[in-house]
Amino acid sequence: MTAPVLADALGPRGRRRSLIASVVSTVVIVVLVAVALKRFSDKGQFASAKWKPFTNWPTLKFLLGGMGNTVKAAVVAMALAGALGSLLALGRLAHNLVIRNVAGVYVEVFRGVPLLLLMFFSAHGLPRLHVHLAIFWYVVLALVAYNGAVLGEIFRAGILSLDPGQSEAASAIGLSYWQAMFLVIIPQAFRRMIPAIVSQLVTLLKDTSLGFVVTYEEFLRRGEIAGEFGKNLLQTYIVVAAAYLVVNVALSQTARRLEVRQRTRYSAGAIRVAGIEDLAVVNAHGEAAVAPT
Amino acid sequence: MTLSVVFDNLGRFGHGMWVTVELTLLGFALAFVIGIVVAACRVSPVPPLRLAGTLYVEVFRNIPLIVLFVLFFFGFPKLGIRYSPFVSSVIVLSVYTGAFVGETVRAGINTVAKGQAEAARSIGLTFTQLLRIVVLPQALRSVVAPLGNLFIALVKNSSIAYTISVVELTGVADRLTTETAKPIAVFSGAFVAYLILTIPSGYVLGIVERRVAFKR
C-alpha cells in the first residue's frame, strides 16, 4: 500500500487521533460485516445445501465451461477487434480524405453507443435482415464492432505519440509511406501501446458478460442456469462475481506491471493509462482517460 | 428501410431518453458522493479506512456491471433486500461508478502540490479541514475532464438497467426492433438519441472545464 499522501509524519496528537479513528472505524467495519453475515444466516443462506453444489464436479465443470465460453468469445473478439482497429487507425491517419472520414465516422458511431445496444442489434436485429448466425458470432460481432473502434483510437494515439522526427527520418532515407509505417513507426508505437491493449482486454473480458442478455452461455448465464437448478441463485452469483474479481485483478496487475516495465526500460513512456484498467477515450496527444464500459 | 419507424415512435424514444437521463443524473450524483468519500478514505492517515477504500475500488472496478445488476436484483431479494427496478438500477450504477470516481478523485488529489497540504497542516488544520478546504477544491478542478468521461460512460452504462426491465433508450430500441422488424432504422434512431445526450454533455463539460481552470 502506498503511503498516505496528505499526512506523513504525524505529531503526537495526530497519532493519538489516528489511533482512535482506526479503532472506531475497525469496530464500525466489523459491525457492518457482522450484520451482513447475520442477515445471511437468518435467511438460511449459509445452509450447506446452498453452497454444496460448488464442491461437486458436474456443477463446477458446467460453470468452468461457461468461463471457457467467456474466454473463447473474448479471445476471438480481441483478435478480430485488433485487426479492425488497425485498419481504422491506418484509415484515420491516411492521406485520402474519403478513407479518413469513413474511418472517423465509424469510430464516432460505434464508440458513441452502448455496447448493449450493439449486442441487441446484432442478436435481435440481424436475423430480421436475414443474417442468421450462431449466438456466439452475434456476441463476437457486437464486441468486435465496439472494441474495434476503441482499439483503433488506442493505435492512433500510439502512432501519434511518436516523435514526428521518426517519420521524417524515415522519409529522408528514402522509405515510402508504408515502409516507414511498418518498419519504423508501428514497431515503436506498438511497444508503447501494450499496457493500454492489455487494459482494454480486461474491459473486453468484463464486457463479454453482456452476452448474457442474448442468451449466450457465457459464465454469468451458466451461473444463472446452475443457480436456478440448485435453488441457490444468490450463492452462485456471488461465486461468479468472485471469480470475475480474481481473474480481472490478476490481469489488471499484469497491465500495471507491463506499464511500469515500459516506463523503466524505454526512456519514452507508454501511453498513459489513467486508472489503468478502463481505457475508452484516448485523445490525439496520447493522453488516456478513465471510463468504465 | 424507412426512417418512418423512428418518427412514428418519437414519443417512445423521448420517454426512453428521459429514463436514461434520470438514471444518469441520479446515478452520477450518488457516485460523486461515494467517490469523494472513497478517495478521502484512501488518502487518510487511518489504516483501516485506507484498506476499506482500496478494497471498495478493486472490488467494484473488477466485477462486470451486469453481474452486479443481476446479483443485486435477483440475488439480494433472498436476503430480504428488495427495491424496484429503477431504484435498484440507480443504486448499482452509482456503487459501480463510485469506484471509478474515487480512483479519479484520488488521482486529482495526487496532483495537488505537497506544499499545499504541508502549509495547511502547519496552520493547524485537521485532516478533514485540510481535505475539505484546501486539497479537494484544487483536486476536483484538475479532474473535470476525466469525470466528464465517466459521466458519458455512465450514459452508456445505464443501458444495462434494461436487463432488469427498466425500459430506457436501449430498451425502447430493442423492443421496437422486435415489433417493427426494421433494425437499421431503429438503430439509427437510437444512435442519434444517444448522440443528442452525449454531445451536449461534452459541450457543457468543456464550459465547466474552462470556468474552473486555474488562471495562470
- Find the CB nearest A233 among B74, B96, B152: B74
A64-106 residue pLDDT tens:
999 999 999 999 999 999 999 999 999 999 889 999 999 999 9
pLDDT at A270: 53
Cα A123 versus chain centre, distance: 22
Whole-angstrom distance, CA of residue B53 vs CA of residue B34? 10
In DSSP terms, A272 is beta-bridged to A287
The answer to whether residue A277 scores a pLDDT higher than 70 is: no
pLDDT at A276: 35
Packing angle of the helix pair B47-62, B85-111 (nearest 10 deg)? 120
- Picking from A278, A267, A288, A27, the residue whose alpha carbon sits closest to that of residue A160 is A288
> Taking CB atoms and an 8 Å limit, are B159 and A117 in contact across chains?
yes
B123 CB neighbours in chain A (<8 A) are: none
Which ranges constitute the DSSP H helices of B112-168? 114-122, 127-129, 136-142, 144-157
Which amino acid belongs to residue B174?
D
pLDDT at A272: 52
A-to-B residue pairs, Cβ atoms closer than 8 angstroms: 208
Compute the C-alpha angle A2/A6/A12, nearest 5°: 100
Spatial neighbors of B170 by CB under 8 A, at least 6 apart, are A114, A116, A117, A120, B16, B159, B162, B190
pLDDT at B1: 55
Residue with cell 465509424: A106
- Find the CB nearest A252 among B46, B62, B169: B62
The answer to whether residue A62 scores a pLDDT higher than 70 is: yes
pLDDT at B75: 92
In DSSP terms, A281 is beta-bridged to A289
Q: Report residue A193's pLDDT band, with 50, 70 and 90 as the boundaries.
A: confident
Q: Report residue A287's pLDDT band, with 50, 70 and 90 as the boundaries.
A: very low
**A260 compared with B162, residue with greater pLDDT:** B162
User: Looking at the domain assignment, is residue B38 inside a domain?
Assistant: yes
Q: Report residue A112's pLDDT band, with 50, 70 and 90 as the boundaries.
A: confident
**The three cell numbers locating residue A66:** 461457461
CATH of the domain at B163: 1.10.3720.10
- Summarize chain B as % helix, strand, coil (round to 5): 85, 0, 15
B191 to chain A: closest CA residue: A113
Whole-angstrom distance, CA of residue B66 vs CA of residue A281? 21
Q: Report residue B117's pLDDT band, with 50, 70 and 90 as the boundaries.
A: confident
pLDDT at A138: 95
**Average pLDDT of chain A to the nearest whole number:** 84
CA-based nearest distance B68→chain A, Å = 8
Mean pLDDT computed over B85-108: 96
pLDDT at B9: 86
> What is the distance between the terminal CA atoms of chain B, rounded to a whole angstrom?
55
Mean pLDDT lowest among A149-163, B128-142, B200-214 = B200-214
> Taking CB atoms and an 8 Å limit, are B131 and A129 in contact across chains?
no
Which amino acid belongs to residue B17?
M
pLDDT at A279: 35
Residue with cell 488521482: B107
The answer to whether residue B181 scores a pLDDT higher than 60 is: yes
pLDDT above 70 covers what percent of chain B? 98
B194 CB neighbours in chain A (<8 A) are: 112-114, 117
Q: Report residue A6's pLDDT band, with 50, 70 and 90 as the boundaries.
A: low
Q: How many CB atoms lie within 10 A of CB A191?
A: 15
As for the ipTM of the complex, it is 0.89
> Taking CB atoms and an 8 Å limit, are A238 and B145 in contact across chains?
no
User: Looking at the domain assignment, is residue B100 inside a domain?
Assistant: yes
CA dist A172 to A157, A161, A166, A175, A216, Å? 24, 20, 10, 7, 53
CA-based nearest distance A125→chain B, Å = 5
Q: In chain B, how many domains are there? A: 1
Does B107 contact A at CB distance below 8 Å? yes
Spatial neighbors of A110 by CB under 8 A, at least 6 apart, are A118, A145, A146, A148, A149
Mean pLDDT computed over A56-67: 91
- Picking from B112, B96, B2, B3, the residue whose alpha carbon sits closest to that of residue B57 is B96
- Find the CB nearest A237 among B75, B109, B162: B75
Buried b / exposed e over A98-115, threshold 16 CB at 10 Å, is eeeeebeebbebbbbbbb
Three-state DSSP at A288 gives: strand
CA-based nearest distance B72→chain A, Å = 9
Rg of chain B in Å (alpha carbons): 20
User: Looking at the domain assignment, is residue B190 inside a domain?
Assistant: no
The answer to whether residue A165 scores a pLDDT higher than 50 is: yes
User: Looking at the domain assignment, is residue B57 inside a domain?
Assistant: yes
**A286 compared with A135, residue with greater pLDDT:** A135
pLDDT at B175: 92
Whole-angstrom distance, CA of residue A181 vs CA of residue A175? 9
Q: Report residue B100's pLDDT band, with 50, 70 and 90 as the boundaries.
A: very high
User: Looking at the domain assignment, is residue B101 inside a domain?
Assistant: yes
> Taking CB atoms and an 8 Å limit, are A233 and B75 in contact across chains?
yes
Q: Report residue A130's pLDDT band, with 50, 70 and 90 as the boundaries.
A: confident
A18-50 residue pLDDT tens:
899 999 999 999 999 999 999 888 888 888 888
User: Looking at the domain assignment, is residue B172 inside a domain?
Assistant: no
pLDDT at A285: 32
Three-state DSSP at A96 gives: coil
**The three cell numbers locating residue A75:** 479471445
Which amino acid belongs to residue B24?
T
Mean pLDDT computed over A204-219: 93
> Taking CB atoms and an 8 Å limit, are B66 and A220 in contact across chains?
yes
User: Looking at the domain assignment, is residue B198 inside a domain?
Assistant: no
> What is the distance between the terminal CA atoms of chain A, rounded to a whole angstrom?
27
B197 CB neighbours in chain A (<8 A) are: none
In DSSP terms, A282 is beta-bridged to A288
pLDDT at A52: 83
User: Looking at the domain assignment, is residue B159 inside a domain?
Assistant: yes
B121-165 residue pLDDT tens:
888 888 888 899 999 999 998 898 899 989 999 999 999 999 999
Q: How many CB atoms lie within 10 A of CB B79?
A: 14
For residues B27 and B152, is the Cβ–Cβ distance under 8 A? no
- Summarize chain A as % helix, strand, coil (round to 5): 75, 5, 20
pLDDT at A44: 83
A120 CB neighbours in chain B (<8 A) are: 170, 173-174, 177
> Taking CB atoms and an 8 Å limit, are A212 and B66 in contact across chains?
yes
- Substitution target from A1, A2, A6, A115 for chain B, most B beta carbons within 10 A: A6
Which domain does B147 fall in, by range? 19-167
Three-state DSSP at B133 gives: helix
Whole-angstrom distance, CA of residue B100 vs CA of residue B79? 27
- Picking from B175, B209, B173, the residue whose alpha carbon sits closest to that of residue B188 is B173
B11-52 residue pLDDT tens:
899 999 999 999 999 999 999 999 999 999 999 888 899 999
pLDDT at A280: 35
Give the start-end residues of each E strand in chain A. 279-282, 288-290
